[in-house]
Amino acid sequence: MLPRIGLGLRLLLHNRLRLLIASASVAMGVVIVFVELGLLLGMLDAQALIANLVRGDLLIMNMARVNLHRWDKIDLVRLEQAAAVPGVARVTPLYEDHVGLRNPADKRVRRIILYAFPPDDIPFKLDNPAAISHALKISHGFLYDRLSRPIFGQFGVGDDIQIDTVPLRVDGYVSIGADIVNDGNILMSEGDWLARLPDSKPIMGLVHVKPGASVEAVRQRILQSLPPDVTVLTPEETAWRETLYTLRTAPVGLLFAIGMLAGLVIGTINCYQVLYNEITDHLRQFATLKAMGFSNHFLRRIIMGQAMVLSVAGFSTGLVFAWLADRYIAGQSMLPIGVGPASGVIVGCFTVLMCMTAGLIAIRRVAVADPAALY
């Protein structure tokens, strides 16, 4: 049944204020779905952030480190052993630990994540890697992640900030981002970090495969060559593992899913009420069309056309408000929450489904239009 959009659109456009209110009514459901989906996807993206940010063909980690928020470290000798495997160009050690950063304003010390690595081999996909490398090599300070939560305070390049009671210079900024567990990040050179904690072990090694070598073949060789206390994954596999782990263990995922479902139901009911009122208001006109010989099928196509129009109007309106809401939430939570192509397509499909479902329920009302009642 192809919807008659032209006639349905004309009927809706006739009273623009009413159409606006109807769009807003459908948009309410759309906003809820967008926001809940945005929260869920933002949470998942945040948890997989580091996995998506690392530069490397493979990641080698302690087998016990089943998610990226565990602290199981890997022996440096494992990285050296991996570097000796044919096909491996180099292995970059990445150190991770949490340190206390004293807020210069309120003097409170708060935990922040520290990453340390060789300055000549930046392990993350960041802007201006040359500048980052230079800053870490020249000075003995740190780079601050400007996307850290505001609890750490404000400071500028050149300021001395206490890290675990030791004053260190802020050498510059990077943009990484916080997640559900960690509130912020700082970067330091491997040399400076090992000078503070000589016995520190890396959290993972970033394996760079030689040009032309097969990543999968290299992975298999590493697994065969090293003892079974390590795991080797691609960054994509690591990110996916992180997503699955978060979905499985984070109770808020269930809440967001239920919220989305409620949003869908709200949108469907609202759309149904709009269509129901449209039919009721035009019942005599529909009855006249029936008297003229138009079929119920024709009338149903008009209603489904209106449902399509409402889905487009509701989605467009909801998109604007959802974008604003997500910006606010992202600003408050410092998580990558926002409307993107994926969520746009998903919610768009849901919106059409919502409105078409409402239309299919509402078209039963059209059968009530009795041409005999016109007399």
Give residues 137-176 in contact with other proteins (rule: CB under 8 A). 149, 151
Contact 53/145 with Cβ under 8 angstroms?
no
Is residue 115 within a helix (H) or strand (E), and if so which, with residue range? strand 109-117
CA 47/CA 69 separation, integer angstroms: 9
Contact 97/88 with Cβ under 8 angstroms?
no
Mark residues 251-270: x for contact with other proteins by CB under 8 A, - for none.
xx-xxx-xx--xx-xx--xx
Q: Does 16 bind other proteins (CB under 8 A)?
A: no
> Least distance from C-beta 184 to other proteins, angstroms?
11
> Least distance from C-beta 40 to other proteins, angstroms?
9
Report the DSSP pairing between strands 142-145 and 185-189: antiparallel
Q: Does 333 bind other proteins (CB under 8 A)?
A: yes
Mark residues 207-236: x for contact with other proteins by CB under 8 A, - for none.
------------------------------
Mark residues 59-88: x for contact with other proteins by CB under 8 A, - for none.
-----x-----x-x----------------
CA 335/CA 114 separation, integer angstroms: 18
Q: Does 178 bind other proteins (CB under 8 A)?
A: yes
Number of residues counted as binding other proteins (CB under 8 A): 72
Report the DSSP pairing between strands 58-62 and 230-233: antiparallel
CA 165/CA 100 separation, integer angstroms: 8
Q: Does 291 bind other proteins (CB under 8 A)?
A: yes
> Least distance from C-beta 265 to other proteins, angstroms?
5
Q: Does 292 bind other proteins (CB under 8 A)?
A: yes
Taking Cα atoms as reference points, which of 96, 89, 27 lies closest to residue 61?
Answer: 96
Q: Does 91 bind other proteins (CB under 8 A)?
A: no
Q: Does 108 bind other proteins (CB under 8 A)?
A: yes
Contact 45/240 with Cβ under 8 angstroms?
no
Which one, 25 or 81, has the nearer CB to other proteins? 25
Q: Does 338 bind other proteins (CB under 8 A)?
A: no
Structure tokens at 115: 């990453």
The three-state (H, E, C) secondary structure of 45-105, written as one string: HHHCHHHHHECCCEEEEECCCCCCCCCCCCCHHHHHHHHCCCCEEEEEEEEEEEEEEECCC
Q: Does 249 bind other proteins (CB under 8 A)?
A: yes
CA 288/CA 300 separation, integer angstroms: 15
Which span sits near other proteins by CB under 8 A: 104-112, 168-176, 235-243, 345-353? 104-112
* Contacting residue, 3, 23, 32, 92, with other proteins by CB under 8 A: 32
Which one, 57 or 183, has the nearer CB to other proteins? 183
* Contacting residue, 18, 55, 90, 110, with other proteins by CB under 8 A: 110
Q: Does 288 bind other proteins (CB under 8 A)?
A: yes
